[in-house]
Amino acid sequence: MNDASDANDAFDDRDDPESRDAADAVYAALLDRIGEGSPRPRLAPTRRAVELLGDPHRAAPVIHITGTNGKTSTSRMIEAMLRASGLRTGLLTSPHLERFTERIRIDGEPISDEAVARNWEEILPFLAIVDAELEGSGEEPLTFFETLTVLAFACFADAPVDVVVLEVGMGGEWDSTNVADGQVAVFTPIDLDHQARLGSTVTEIARTKSGIIKPAASVVSAKQPDAALRVLQDAAELTESTLAVEGDAFDVLESRVAVGGQLISVRGLAGEYRDIALPLFGRHQAENAAVAIAAVEAFIGGGAVRLADEVVHDGLSVAASPGRLQAIAADPTVIVDAAHNPHGAESLVAALDEYFDFDELVFVFGVLADKDVDGIAAVLARSGGSFLVTRPESERARDVRDVTAILTARVGADRVQAVERLDDALDEARAWAAESPKRAVVVTGSIALVGEAMAIAADRDWGRA
């Protein structure tokens, strides 16, 4: 890769049709591979690919993040504070909301179309070698996410960056990102999700996720269920790593509702940080911020050096978490939230109650096939809201009729209506909400659905709240 190049070079090519077409061709090639819904529990193919490329995953130190909910929000906060401290950052998150280049970010910006296409062309011959070796041994070629991970490492090395913030795709131990050795391993709350892949209990899921802990790492964890915490404690002991847990080593001291989000105070690993403006809603985001602060403290000063106030304030003041309790339209209000499991739904309902003042809600709701529909519905139903059931544009989407039947059994037929197309569901929901300023539309149940709703809102110029 060309060290002299800048991943978001001299000019911004995002409006250049040729570069955009080249980047879209990269995404099409990724989609031709085994999809993200069917990850393979293996590391050897990814390790072989990066080895052929000269180990780009070792070009910069890594902060590695796993958990069930809050991974992307926490990753973005960590990255923003690292950038505020003067470091050049690389960030890998998943999934994307609108364009796949959102997943690979350099210094806080989605990677340019030109850079992603150029790096793709450079790694293609090496991907072909690995694919041929896999097929020769009777294995499936590199998957979508394995290939994306290799591409991201190549882009970060090409930039180059000073530090990589790396969010796992699924699990941890066998996730393709785990070819990297995280200097800091970060755990957001662990709960039930992806049981078919990760295990049917919190203990089993935590064991899979604990695989990102490498020898002598700094481990930073949100508050966890007892079963998950025991697993992390055992893993930290086995790897001779240090474990810092929210509520003990660090904590949220205060969270107050403020215009556009909240004011928080946090006790970190090495000091206190007061009255930080966090432009995100929900107590869970305050807790994500506390985890992020502790992670940055662990990375920059081994947890023993207090961060400069401006690093925390400047970093968190620009923290963004698209698709998470985000208002994408006003008059009437439309809020999107990527809650796709019961734990995420709990955070959504709590935040709607604490940070907003609506009397009536309608949930535009669609899920993927492997999700706990009844568990999510049980939580959302506590809000008293009604449901317009639709589906995300995904081959993994759960049938509208199935979801409607589950919701009807949970909340009654008078609170549930099926609308096959998302745009029709949004039109109907907005028409209902427009009848009163105390009504709102909440789009939730699937990250894919949220991304589609955001694209529709932008295309129709609904305006922001």
So what's the pLDDT on residue 194? Answer: 63
Query: Considering the entire predicted model, what is its pTM?
Result: 0.89
Residue 424 three-state SS:
helix
Structure token pair of residue 18: 């040729």
The residue that leads in pLDDT, 465 or 376, is 376
Q: CATH homologous superfamily of domain 13-245+280-317?
A: Mur-like, catalytic domain (3.40.1190.10)
Q: For residue 196, what is the enclosing H or E element? A: helix 195-198
Enumerate the H helices of 102-143 as residue ranges: 113-136
Structure token pair of residue 252: 């949220």
Which of the four pLDDT bands, split at 50, 70 and 90, describes residue 208? very high
State the helix-helix crossing angle for 17-31 and 144-158, rounded to 10 degrees. 140
Residue listed under structure tokens 């499991």: 341
Residues 360, 435, 401: CA angle, nearest 5 degrees: 60
Q: What is the tens place of the pLDDT at every residue in 302-336?
A: 999 999 999 999 999 998 888 989 999 999 999 99
Residue 89 three-state SS:
strand
Q: Hey, where are the domains in the chain? A: 13-245+280-317, 326-459
So what's the pLDDT on residue 11? Answer: 41
- For 326-459, which CATH class? alpha beta
Phi (first) and psi of residue 292, to 5 degrees:
-65, -45
Residue listed under structure tokens 């079963």: 227
Beta partners for 255? Answer: 264
Structure token pair of residue 414: 């008078």
Asked, as a colleague might, if the bond just before 160 is cis with ω within 30 of 0, I would say yes
**Distance of alpha carbon 51 from alpha carbon 329, whole angstroms:** 47
Q: What is the tens place of the pLDDT at every residue in 32-51?
A: 999 887 788 999 999 999 99
**Distance of alpha carbon 380 from alpha carbon 346, whole angstroms:** 8
Structure token pair of residue 249: 């080593």
Residue positions counted in the chain: 465
Q: What is the tens place of the pLDDT at every residue in 252-296?
A: 999 999 988 999 999 999 999 999 999 999 999 999 999 999 999
Q: What is the tens place of the pLDDT at every residue in 400-449?
A: 999 999 999 999 999 999 999 999 999 999 999 999 999 999 999 999 99
Whether the Cβ atoms of residue 396 and residue 382 lie closer than 8 Å to each other: no
Which of the four pLDDT bands, split at 50, 70 and 90, describes residue 464? low
**Distance of alpha carbon 117 from alpha carbon 294, whole angstroms:** 35
Residue listed under structure tokens 């549930």: 416
- Report the C-alpha dihedral over residues 403, 457, 450, 379, rounded to 10 degrees: -60
So what's the pLDDT on residue 98? Answer: 85
